Chains A and B, each alone.
Chain A
Amino acid sequence: MADLENTSEDSIIICEDVHKWFDDFHVLKGVTTAFKRGEKVVICGPSGSGKSTLIRTINRLEVHQRGRIVVDGIELSDDLRNIERIRQEVGMVFQQFNLFPHLTVLQNVTLSPVWVKKVAKSEAESEALALLERVGIEEHAHKFPAQISGGQQQRVAIARALAMQPKIMLFDEPTSALDPEMINEVLDVMRELAASGMTMLVVTHEMGFAREVADRIIFIDEGAIVEEAVPAAFFDNPQHERTQLFISQTLQH
C-alpha cells in the first residue's frame, strides 16, 4: 500500500483508507493515494474492480463509508456546503455521456453556470460557445443531443463539465460506449485538455492513451490498489502478477 509520505503540500486530492460497501459487497477495501495538482492519472483494472466507484467517491456520487477524502483542502463529509463546493471544483464525464436530451447542446453547457454559479445568461453563452469551439462542435450548438453522433455528444459532455471551470476532471470510461471510429476525436480533446495543465483522473481501457498522456497509472483489482507506477515502468516492468496478467490480456486487443 502506498505510504502517506507523498501526500505533500501540492496534492489536490488525498484519499486515506477509503472503504465502500454496496450492501454486503465490499467494493473499496481501503484505498490510499494522492493526486498532485496538474497530474494526469489513468486508473485501470478489470471490470468490477471498483475503479469507477473510486472516482465517483471523489465528487461524492458515491458516499464512502470509512476513511477520508480531501479535495483541494475540502474534506468530503456530510457537510452540505463542502459537497456543493467540491461539485463546482470537480467536473465529471460519464461513459454514457448523460447529456440532457430535452436541452440543446448550448443549453446543456450553460445550465450549471447559469443556475449554480449565477452567471449572466449572455456571458454564460459566449463562454459556452468558446468551449464548444475548443472541443470542435460549435456548429452544432443549437441541435439536440439526439441529433449528433456519440463522439460529438461526449465532446459536448466534456465542454459541459468544463463550463464550471473545474480544477479537476474525472473521466469514467469516456470512450467505452463509442463506436471505434469516434474514439479518437474524444481522446484528442482529452489530450488537448491534458496539455493545458488540467488535473485529470481517467478510468479507461485505452492503454495507448495511458502510455502517452498519463503521468502515473494506478492498477486496481478487487477494491484495492495493486500497483501504481509511471507508464513506462507499468507497461514494461509490471511488478505484480495480476498486473502482468491484466496487461497481457489488454494489450492483445
Chain B
Amino acid sequence: MEERAPNQAIKPPTESKDILRWLKENLFNTWYNALFTCLAVGFLYVIFKGILTWVLTEANWNVIPANLQIFLVGAYPREEIWRVWVVIYTLGILTGLSAGIWGGLALRLALVIGGVGGGIGIILAFFPAPLSSRLGLLGGVVLLAASLFLGRGRKGMRLWVLGGWLLSFPWTMVWLHGFGGLPVVFTSNWGGLLLTLILAAVGIVVSFPLGVLLALGRRSTLPAIKWVSTAYIETVRGVPLVTILFMAQIMVPIFLPDFRIDKILRAMLGITLFSAAYMAENVRGGLQAIPKGQHEAAQALGLNYPLTMLLIILPQALRSVIPAIVGQFISLFKDTSLVAVIGLLDLLGIAKTVIANPDWLGLQAEVYLFAAVVYFVFSYSMSYISQKIEEALEVG
C-alpha cells in the first residue's frame, strides 16, 4: 500500500471544472438522461418563448390596475376601505407581537408574511397602482416589524396577545360590517380577495368547534351518537362542495322561511357545514394517535369524560393535527372559488364580471392569469408555512 504523509491530504478534483462536472452528473449521466435533458430544454424553449412573447407583447395588462380595487375588495365602498387597512394592521401587529414574544416558529411565520406583503408591494410598484395602497402595504410591513421589536422578550403579554387573536376574528367581522356610528357595509357588498379570505377564515374558525364535536361523536362509545356523527361526516364528504353550496342557497330559504339570510351568509353556512366534516376527520386522526394510557391515567385520577377530553386528550390531539388543519385551510381557500358558481363576487367571481365588462372584452387569459397568480401566492406561502409548522412540531 502506498504511504502518504498525513498532511498530504488528497485534494478533490480540480475546482475549475465544477460546472461541467455538475452538468455531467445531473443532466448527462446516462444516455437516456441526456435525451431527456435535450427534450426538456426544447420543451422549455417552446413554452417560455410562447408565454414570454404573449406576456410581454400581446397581452393587455391594463385591465388589472384599472380594476385592482374591485379585485381586492369588490364593491366595498371606496370611502370605507380604510377599515380593511385597519384589519390588516391589526393582524400585522398581532403577528409581530407573537413573533417577538414566542420567537421560533412564530418568528418565521411573521417573516414569511412580511416577505409576502413586501413582495406584493414591490410587484405593485411595477403597475400604476395608487400610491395609497403601496404606502398602506409598506405601513403594514413597518407595523409588523415594529411590533415584533416591541414584543421581544415580553412574556407577560402572552395572554393579552392570545386573547387578541381569539377576538380578532369576531372583531374583524363586526368591524367590516360596521356598528355604532360606523356606516354599515352589508355583506352583499363584500367581494374580491377580501371575501375569499373571509369565507376561508369563517370556514375554518366556525367549523372548528363543530368538527371537534363530530370527531368526539364519531369516537363515542354511545352507538346513537356515533352513528349520527358518522352518517353526517360520510354524507358530506361523499358529495361535492358545489351541491352543498347550491343546497344552502336554495334550501335555507325553504327550511328557515322566517329568517332573512343573505346570499353570503348562506354560502358561509354551506362552507362551514362542509368544512366541519373534513375538520372532524382531521381531528379524529389526532384523537386516534393518543395512546390509550392517557385515557386510563385520566380516569384513574378521577377525571370525568368532559374534563378528560378538555384537559388531557384534546390539547394533545389538536396540537398534532395543526398541519392537517392548515392543509385544510389551504384547500378551503381554493375551494371558496366555487361560490363564483352561485353568483358571489369573490376573487374569481370578480374576475368573471371583469371579463364580461364590455370595456375589457377578450381579456379572459389576462384576468384569469392574474387571479391564478394571486391564488398561487397565497396558497403556496400557506403551504410553505404549514411545512415549517410540521417541521417545528416534529422537533418539539
Closest to A101 in B: B316
A245 an interface residue at 8 Å Cβ cutoff? no
B84 an interface residue at 8 Å Cβ cutoff? no
Closest to B312 in A: A100
Q: Cβ of B311 and Cβ of A87 under 8 Å apart?
A: no
Closest to B308 in A: A115
Q: Cβ of B303 and Cβ of A116 under 8 Å apart?
A: yes
Residues of A close to B296: CB separation below 8 A? 61, 94, 98
A152 an interface residue at 8 Å Cβ cutoff? no
- Chain A interface residue bracket vs B: 20 to 34
B122 an interface residue at 8 Å Cβ cutoff? no
A190 an interface residue at 8 Å Cβ cutoff? no
Chain B, 272-305, contact with A by CB distance < 8 Å: what is the 0/1 string?
0000000000000000000101101111111110
Residues of B close to A98: CB separation below 8 A? 291, 293-294, 296-297
Residues of A close to B311: CB separation below 8 A? 111, 115
Pick from A94, A100, A164: contact of B302, CB below 8 A: A164
Q: Cβ of A96 and Cβ of B293 under 8 Å apart?
A: yes
Most buried by B among A84, A111, A160: A111
Q: Cβ of B315 and Cβ of A94 under 8 Å apart?
A: no
CB B174 to nearest CB in A, in angstroms, measures 33
Asked, given contacts A98-B293, A102-B319, whether A116 binds B302 with beta carbons under 8 Å apart, the answer is: yes
A199 an interface residue at 8 Å Cβ cutoff? no
Asked, given contacts A115-B307, A115-B311, whether A100 binds B297 with beta carbons under 8 Å apart, the answer is: yes
Asked, given contacts A102-B315, A115-B307, whether A87 binds B294 with beta carbons under 8 Å apart, the answer is: no
Q: Cβ of B294 and Cβ of A100 under 8 Å apart?
A: yes
Q: Cβ of B303 and Cβ of A115 under 8 Å apart?
A: yes
The CA-CA distance from A96 to B300 in the complex, in Å, is: 14
Chain A, 99-122, contact with B by CB distance < 8 Å: what is the 0/1 string?
111100000000110011000000
Q: Cβ of A87 and Cβ of B302 under 8 Å apart?
A: yes
A-B pair number, CB within 8 angstroms:
55
Q: Cβ of B315 and Cβ of A111 under 8 Å apart?
A: no
A175 an interface residue at 8 Å Cβ cutoff? no
CB B112 to nearest CB in A, in angstroms, measures 26
CB A124 to nearest CB in B, in angstroms, measures 13
Residues of B close to A112: CB separation below 8 A? 301-303
Closest to B297 in A: A98
Residues of A close to B300: CB separation below 8 A? 59, 61, 87, 90-92, 94, 161
CB B310 to nearest CB in A, in angstroms, measures 9
Residues of A close to B299: CB separation below 8 A? 61, 87
Residues of B close to A88: CB separation below 8 A? 302
CB B61 to nearest CB in A, in angstroms, measures 52
Question: What total of chain B residues lie within 8 Å of the partner, measured CB to CB?
Answer: 18
Chain B, 52-87, contact with A by CB distance < 8 Å: what is the 0/1 string?
000000000000000000000000000000000000
Q: Cβ of B315 and Cβ of A87 under 8 Å apart?
A: no
Q: Which parts of B295-342 form the interface with A (CB within 8 Å)?
A: 296-304, 307, 311-312, 315-316, 319
Closest to A92 in B: B300
Residues of A close to B316: CB separation below 8 A? 100-102
Q: Cβ of B297 and Cβ of A84 under 8 Å apart?
A: no
Residues of B close to A96: CB separation below 8 A? 291, 293
Closest to B316 in A: A102
Residues of A close to B301: CB separation below 8 A? 87, 111-112, 116, 160-161, 164
The CA-CA distance from A91 to B299 in the complex, in Å, is: 10
The CA-CA distance from A147 to B304 in the complex, in Å, is: 28
The CA-CA distance from A17 to B7 in the complex, in Å, is: 81
The CA-CA distance from A101 to B396 in the complex, in Å, is: 12
The CA-CA distance from A147 to B280 in the complex, in Å, is: 32
Most buried by A among B301, B303, B311, B315: B301
The CA-CA distance from A164 to B307 in the complex, in Å, is: 16
The CA-CA distance from A175 to B83 in the complex, in Å, is: 62
Closest to B310 in A: A115
Most buried by B among A61, A92, A98, A101: A98
The CA-CA distance from A59 to B293 in the complex, in Å, is: 15
CB A239 to nearest CB in B, in angstroms, measures 34
Residues of B close to A101: CB separation below 8 A? 316
CB B312 to nearest CB in A, in angstroms, measures 6
The CA-CA distance from A102 to B396 in the complex, in Å, is: 11
The CA-CA distance from A84 to B299 in the complex, in Å, is: 9
Residues of A close to B298: CB separation below 8 A? 100
Q: Which parts of A68-91 form the interface with B (CB within 8 Å)?
A: 84, 87-88, 90-91
Closest to B300 in A: A92
CB B251 to nearest CB in A, in angstroms, measures 41
- In the complex, given contacts A87-B299, A92-B297, A102-B315, what are 15 additional A-B residue pairs having Cβ atoms less than 8 angstroms apart? A61-B300, A87-B302, A88-B302, A90-B300, A96-B291, A98-B296, A98-B297, A100-B294, A102-B316, A111-B311, A112-B301, A112-B303, A115-B303, A164-B301, A164-B302
19 contacting pairs across A/B (C-beta < 8 A): A59-B300, A61-B300, A84-B302, A87-B299, A88-B302, A94-B293, A94-B297, A94-B300, A96-B293, A98-B293, A98-B297, A100-B312, A102-B315, A102-B319, A112-B301, A112-B302, A116-B303, A116-B307, A161-B301
> Interface on B for A, CB 8 Å cutoff?
291, 293-294, 296-304, 307, 311-312, 315-316, 319
> Interface on A for B, CB 8 Å cutoff?
59, 61, 84, 87-88, 90-92, 94, 96, 98-102, 111-112, 115-116, 157, 160-161, 164
- Closest 3 pairs between A and B when the two form their complex, measured CB to CB: A98-B297, A87-B302, A98-B293
